[in-house]
Structure 1
Amino acid sequence: MKLYTFEMAPNPRRLKLFMQYKGIDIETQTINLGDKEQFTESYRAINPNCTVPALQLDDGTVLTDVISACLYLESLYPDKPLLGSTPLEQAQIIGWDHKVFVDGLAAVAEMLRNRGDFFQGRALPGDEVIEQIPALVERGQQRLHSFFQALEVHLVERDYLVGNAISLADIDAFVLCDFAGWVKESIPEGCSQLQAWYQRIAKQLGG
C-alpha cells in the first residue's frame, strides 16, 4: 500500500492520527497542497478528484475518502479498535463521524474557502472552478458555534463521544477543534465539558 497525503491538512490528519494510534506504518508520499501538487498530471492519474489523502492498495485500487480508508485499515489491523466493538457502537461511531464532518469540518471549510485570495475559484475541493460566496463565511461560523454547543451537551457525563473508549469519532472531532484555529475560532470558554474532553483525547493521541 501507499498513502498520498499532506499531513497538516485536516482530512489527512484524521487518517494520520487513526494510523498513529493503531501503530500502522505505510509508505507515504507528500502531495504539497500549498504548491498545488494535487493538480499535477501524475497525481491526477492516481486520484482524479485531486484531493488528499488517497490510499492506494496493492491491487491498484485507490480509496480517496478518510472513512473508507479507515474502514479498510481497521479490518487489516483490528487491534486497538477505533470503529466500535459491537454493531450498535459501530453505527453510533459512523453516525457521529458523519455529524462531525457535515456540521463541523464542513462549517470551518466554508469559512476558510469562501474568503481570501488563496482559494479564489476553489471554494470546494477538486479541480472544478467554484467561485467563493462570502456570505457562507458567516453561515459557517454560525454552524460551527452551534456544533460546539451540541458537542458540549452530548459530553455531559461522557468521557467519549461513543462508548467507553476513544474512537474515530473522537479523533475527527479533535481534528475539528484544531482546524477551527485556521479561521481563528476555538472551543468556547463556556464549554467546560468539551474542553475537558479535548485535553483527554490529546493525551491519548500523544498531544
Structure 2
Amino acid sequence: MKLYDWHLAPNPRRVRMYLAEKGIDIPIEEVGAGPNLTLDPAYLKKHPHGLVPCLELDDGTMIGEAMAICRYFETEHPDPPLMGTDAKDRALVEMWERKADMEGLHAASEAFRNLAPDFKGRGLPGQRGDTIPQLPVLVQRGTARVARFYQKIDEQLGKNPYLAGERFSVADITAFCSIDFAKWIELDIPAECKNVQRWYDEVSKRESVAA
C-alpha cells in the first residue's frame, strides 16, 4: 500500500491530516515534479487522470479523491471516528464536509487556478495535455464564493465548537485546508468572522496540522 502525495497541494494534505488523526502510518511517495507545478511523468502513466492524492492498494487498485481514500481507511480503522458515529452524525459530517469542499476548497481553487501564472493554459485540475485557458472572471467569482463560505461557516461555528457539531471530523479537516489554500491568494479569514478565527486557532494546535 502506498499514498501518492504532493506536499504543496491541499487535497493530499486532507488525507495526510486524516491519517495523522487516526495514527495510521503508510508509505508516502511525493510525485510533484519540476518548477512549473507539474506531476511526475511516471506517476501520470500509472494514474492518467493527473490528480493527487491517490492510494495504491497491495493488489494494484488505485483509489483517487481525498474523501474516497479517507472512507477506505475509516472502514478499516473506525477509531477514532472522523466521519460520524451514527446515522444523524454521519449525515451532518458528510453535509458539512461537502460544503467545505465545494464552497471553500473548490472556490479557492477556482480563483487560484485562474490567477497563478504557473497554471496558464491549465485552468482546470488534471494534466491531460489539453489547453484550458485561464478566465479572469472566475478569479472574481471564486473570491466572492470564498467570502460567502467564510460567512456561512462563521454562523455554524457560532453554534458549535466544530463544523459538524461537538466532535472534530473530516469536515473540519477540509475546511481548515480550504482556508490555508485560500490564504495563498490573500483570501484570509475576515476580521468579522470571529467564530471562524476561534475555531481556526484551535484546530491549528492539533498535531495533524503539521502532517
Q: Give the 3-state SS of the residue equivalent to 2:191 in structure 1.
A: coil
Number of matched residues? 206
Deviations 1:36-72 (A, max 9, x none): 55251x2123211111111001111111100100000
Q: Percent identity between the aligned chains?
A: 39
Moved more, 67-76 or 119-128: 119-128
Give yes or no for contact 2:18–2:208 (8 Å, CA) kept in 1: no
User: What's the C-alpha RMSD, in Å, of the aligned pairs?
Assistant: 1.4
CA distance in 2, matches of 1:115, 1:180: 12
- Which structure has more relative contact order (CA 8 Å, sep 6+)? It is 2
Once the two structures are TM-superposed, the CA of residue 116 in structure 1 deviates from its matched residue by 3.5
Give yes or no for contact 2:162–2:172 (8 Å, CA) kept in 1: yes
Equivalent residue number for residue 148 of structure 2: 146
Alignment of 1:165 with 2:157, yes or no, is: no
Once the two structures are TM-superposed, the CA of residue 153 in structure 1 deviates from its matched residue by 0.8
CA distance in 1, matches of 2:7, 2:80: 22
CA distance in 2, matches of 1:103, 1:33: 29
Which runs of structure 2 are paired with 1:52-201 in the superposition (5 Å)? 52-127=52-127, 128-201=130-203
Could you tell me the TM-score, scaled by structure 2's length?
0.92
Distance 1:23 1:146, change over 3 A: same
In structure 1, runs of 5+ residues without a counterpart are none
CA distance in 2, matches of 1:180, 1:205: 21
CA distance in 2, matches of 1:32, 1:206: 21
Moved more, 197-206 or 153-162: 197-206
In structure 2, runs of 5+ residues without a counterpart are none
Deviations 1:8-50 (A, max 9, x none): 210010011000111111111101155455251x212321111
Once the two structures are TM-superposed, the CA of residue 200 in structure 1 deviates from its matched residue by 1.6
